[in-house]
Structure 1
């Protein structure tokens, strides 16, 4: 709205005196408020009845009273003024009759919701009443702008045109639009123009009427119309917009995202059927983050959209990252598999962005283990490439302290495929002393805490199983009635379940003892050896815990064997928990240990892919592949795009 128009509207919103207003007429405040309210309410009730004869009779009666002017112009009714109530009836005869008695200022009066009588008539779909109010306002206006009544907004920011769109009255919308085109560009408090509200109503006829005049897309305020159509899956409206005005189709949001950015985020393949020679340039436009629609599709893991866009879209975003960089960063496993398996796009696997990072670097930085496995197993990968900081992917992994099972597997996997790089000490001679010093890296505090915890657990198992070996179920033979050769023997020595108890307890004892020794050695070495030692020591500990549980279960069953139902129940219950403990502890440790074969023997290449695939299957089974509980802080915030909120980065495939 220009300055002169705003001033004109503001003048009438404040209730100025119009050309035929009575300057000397008494106001409601000069009369007895009780009597004025009662009379005005009585007249309002008659108007609601919509009987012209009764209204005319009541008005003639009131006209004889000395305070009739205050009654006719009373504004304190529950529904506003008498003019508001008359407009709500939709009866033009009632409105014409009342306009003969009320003050001219009343036509711009607002109710508690900021509605003028024109707003009320529009909501009531009263075409003739609305037209009468518009004509009356123009006759009374002495300013340059004759359309001021059409431009007044209520408390929700709606003009009469906004309200007409919400009522879904096509004829009323067409009439108001013909009276004044300006409000079609304006937004309300919800940032919605009448064009956008037409999408909310789902009425294509109204949208077609609003498009009938030639619109200037640069003047449309609020939410972009074309993006609203995408979000609502109104494909017909999109096609209508494209046919009407290509500039409307190119509208963007506040961060520069166009229709294809949003469609890529929402995974709407049908929107890309609108890719034509005259619209292809939109898939080559970047948003304020530098992302193209194909990068949004890669970020979300929408393989079908990548397939549609790769032939018409550039591959680099504002950071010099390919779609494989983006898919690796956000852990989109399906997208990574598709790209590295595509004949034209697989060359991206060793491309570097502006920071020199390859997709492998980003997968390591953001700990995307599910993606890392696929990249490492590809025969075209070059894990020795350095970024701008002179670091290979394995260097980044080793510089990060271990953060659990996933990071430990990542370290070992990269070490098993990466040859020792000497480029860094050539590029930066000053790094030689540091490289020598790093031959014995100190153990990080978190790793040291993990070793201590594991050692305590192993020690407790050792202590318990050692004690159980000399406090067996049933006790020992010590009676004088038996042979001296049997003294000190277990009373249940001939029982098969007892023999199973002894075997399980012995396995748990020696495995836990071996684990204690392993953790002690890991505690005293440097970080790389500590990682190896922890994993090796974890194998016997993972065996000891189920074995100790089995020994306990057998021992309890022996002592309550007289009650068969109780022994059976305990045996079944305990067996279930032993299976859970075994699966949760033993499986990942064994899988990690298998990785040492290709780590120490690089020529045994078939073992590494097999181990990786088993570990990946294990992650999926535990649904770990879609969640990164130990992600770095910078990854949790995510990278904002114009079409998407911060992402959790997990693989939603």
Structure 2
């Protein structure tokens, strides 16, 4: 038995007069608030039956929450049941944010409380002869209520519940009430989200299937997107299949410059691309994915500005597997483009320097027409590769038998001319390799004899220096260093660490031959010697004859790798040679040398990885230091 001590004195704090106290304003009676907080059912009965009356349940807090809101928030199930049995209207009462007790339970993640509220609204006894119809209406009224943000029960249950069980339970409840089901499924919140959009985003495929069975259910999402777009972004293949079956027109919708297929391409989702292409291959001819879309224009302008087909988008992003899938279903999809510059898929792959995509397009016979197809400026893919001085792309194009090397642009420039205009890359190895490759393929007799190359930023003397003397200078210096390393390693191999044994049984054998550090010394010394000799051989091979095409980026790349390997192995041999000699008597000194050498190897690795940056700063020093000196001499002649 709950002991309740209340006074009936009107002047006391527990009387009805407390409701009108300025401290509480028009809020909830303090004793009712205490009963809600402590889940005191006895106090609730006393307030309703003796002290105040049933009207006390109409009290609300300043936030508009009634007693049932508070009980649901605190999770007091028994107390909440007593409240809705005393006053059924509490089930459909809303607070200042438009939330019903059911929405409050959903926001708290209390599934059992939410189910109890729905069951109460659907089976509550009412003083009427048509009990089932009225009970159904009460439940439908509670489910259809929306908050101030335009969200109904389905919005909240899909967003706040960790699974789709409760959403399916609600949809089963309204199956016999078609009007309620329609209003629930068609409601779009103030944020532009429909229940189907949220279900697609959360991956609730069963809920999506139930919603698709309701005629007219909304599939809208924010910013004019659809449930199909959302399912693709969420990588929900099962939901996409269901949407394609029930609403196939969504697959061709262009929203914010994207179709569902272009979204699948952009997210590199091969499975999704296969689903769309199997369903309808014509989707490959719908443009989307424009990088120049009118962001601040109308939606119509935004959608009409898209000019990338799915295949073009795959080419520009380097998605080879996706491009193969699209080309399998639509062999001519690579030729479909309405871009202003009329660039094709090979142009796009070269601009983004996707070598694997370029090789795929060049090796596939059906795409041969792309090789000599020019854009609006008359530029072939070869001209695009030449403008970037990318020797790998240039070599791939030049090796194709169909390539027209002598083609010119609308400015009457061939590929060599395009390279010569790249003043920002002048005097770099990248520029030199590109010029070397192209000049060997293109007959200079076809060039315009009146062309003034000095206007393009480089004279003929400079061209000769860069094309002929730079390779010789580079290989000469590299070969000298390589031979020096080879000589050092050969001498170190014969002058073994610690010398030779003087014992009669082991005469002329290395003293420390059985130590592991000695074995490491000999292996690293041998690798360093072989690497340096290989570099020297490549340097000699690269300068044979007058045909300097053999001096290519492949030779230099191997020279750099082998030279770096020789440096590292020479350092390792030095360290372990000293370690072999010093470790028996001076272990601390051997470990110190080992640590310093590890730091040196780390620095060498970092420098080799950032060689281009160091070369840039070195060039800046050569440019600005003479200017500073001349400026200083002019200001201080003495």
Q: Could you state the TM-score of these two structures normalised by the residue count of structure 2?
A: 0.62
**Deviation of 1:195 (Å):** 1.4
1:315 equivalent in alignment to 2:335: yes
Give the aligned partner of residue 251 of structure 1. 253
Q: Separation in 1 of the partners of 2:388 and 2:368?
A: 21
**How far did 1:196 drift?**
2.6
Is residue 227–residue 259 contact of structure 1 (8 Å, CA) maintained in 2?
yes
Question: Deviation of residue 293 (structure 1)?
Answer: 0.3
Name the CA shift for 1:598/1:559 in 2 (closer, same or farther; >3 Å).
closer
| Within-5 A mapping of 1:541-556 | 541-551=477-487
Deviations 1:130-179 (A, max 9, x none): 5878999xx9xxxxxx899733156xx85422122243220214557952
Cα distance, 1:68 vs structure 2? 8.5
Q: Which position in structure 1 is the counterpart of 2:580?
A: none
Matched residue of 1:30: which SS? Answer: coil
Unaligned 5+ residue runs, structure 2?
1-15, 125-133, 135-140, 292-306, 501-510, 565-608, 614-638
Equivalent in the alignment of 1:283: 284
Aligned to 2:582: none
- What is the aligned counterpart of 2:452 among 431, 434, 437? 434
What SS class does the counterpart of residue 73 from structure 1 fall into? coil
Instruction: Tell me what 2:311 maps to.
Output: 294
Partner residue, 1:230: 232
Q: Quote the residue 2:243 is aligned against.
A: 241
Equivalents in 2 of 1:58, 1:368: separation in Å? 88
C-alpha distance in 1, partners of 2:86/2:246? 44
Match for residue 534 of structure 1? 470
Q: Match for residue 575 of structure 1?
A: 525
Per-residue Cα deviation, 1:588-638 (whole angstroms, up to 9, x for no partner): 866865796264xxxxxxx79xx677778899999xxxx99979xxxxxxx
Structure 1 SS opposite 2:222: coil
Is 1:328 aligned with 2:346? no
Does structure 2 retain, via aligned residues, the 8 Å contact 1:119–1:163?
A: yes
Residues 435 and 149 of structure 1: is their aligned pair in 2 closer, same or farther, counting only changes over 3 Å?
same
Tell me, yes or no, if structure 1 residue 597 matches structure 2 residue 547: yes
Question: In structure 1, which of residues 403, 415, 425 is the aligned counterpart of residue 439 of structure 2?
Answer: 415
Contact 1:352 1:359 (8 Å CA) reproduced: yes
2:34 corresponding residue in structure 1: 42
Using a 3 Å threshold, how does the CA distance of structure 1 residues 193 and 343 change in structure 2: closer, same or farther? same
From 22, 27, 47, the equivalent of 1:30 is 22
Name the structure 1 match of 2:103.
119
Whole-angstrom CA distance in 1 between matches of 2:158 and 2:370: 50
Say if 2:163 is the partner of 1:163: no
- Judging changes above 3 Å, is the alpha-carbon distance between structure 1 residues 628 and 30 closer, same or farther for their aligned structure 2 residues? same
Matches within 5 A, 1:104-115: 107-110=94-97, 115=99
Is the 1:403–1:630 contact (alpha carbons within 8 Å) kept by the matching residues of 2?
no
In structure 1, C-alpha distance between the alignment counterparts of 2:57 and 2:23, rounded to whole Å = 7
Residue pairs, 1:380-399, within 5 angstroms: 380-399=402-421
Q: Secondary structure at the match of 2:94?
A: helix
2:105, 2:241 → 1: CA distance? 33
Render the CA deviation track for 1:381-438: whole Å, top value 9, x for unaligned: 112212233322222222222474444322211111122265657xxxxxx3624766
CA shift in 2, pair 1:187/1:83, >3 Å: same
1: CA distance, partners of 2:545 / 2:314: 34
Q: 1:404 to 1:581 in 2, by over 3 A?
A: farther
**CA–CA distance in structure 1, aligned partners of residues 152 and 611 of structure 2:** 50
Conserved? CA contact 1:315–1:323, under 8 Å: yes
Aligned to 1:82: 67
C-alpha contact 1:86 1:94 (8 A) present in aligned 2: no
**1:350 equivalent among 372, 380, 398:** 372
Give 1:554 shift.
6.5
Task: Using the TM superposition, give the Cα deviation of residue 531 of structure 1 relative to its aligned residue in structure 2, in angstroms.
Answer: 3.9
CA deviation profile, 1:231-278 (whole Å, cap 9, x unmatched): 444323222111211222333442x22122122234444434445798
> Contact 1:329–1:368 at 8 Å: present in 2 too?
no
Cα distance change, pair 224–406 in 1 and its aligned pair in 2 (3 A) = farther
Q: Provide closer, same or farther for how the CA distance between residues 217 and 86 of structure 1 changes in structure 2, counting only shifts above 3 A.
A: closer
**C-alpha deviation, 1:377, in angstroms:** 0.9
Q: Residue 147 of structure 2 corresponds to which residue in structure 1?
A: 152
Distance 1:550 1:269 in 2: 51
DSSP-derived class of the 2:333 partner: coil
Name the count of aligned residue pairs: 486
Compare 287-296 and 180-189 and name the one that shifted more: 180-189
Distance 2:99 2:476 in 1: 79
Structure 1 residues 217 and 377, CA gap change in structure 2 (3 angstroms):
farther
**What is the RMSD of the two structures over their aligned residues, measured on CA atoms?**
5.0
Distance 2:196 2:611 in 1: 44
SS at match of 1:107: coil
**Following the alignment from structure 2 to structure 1, what is the Cα–Cα distance between the partners of residues 21 and 490?**
96
Equivalent residue, structure 1, for 2:599: none
Partner of 1:172 in structure 2? 170
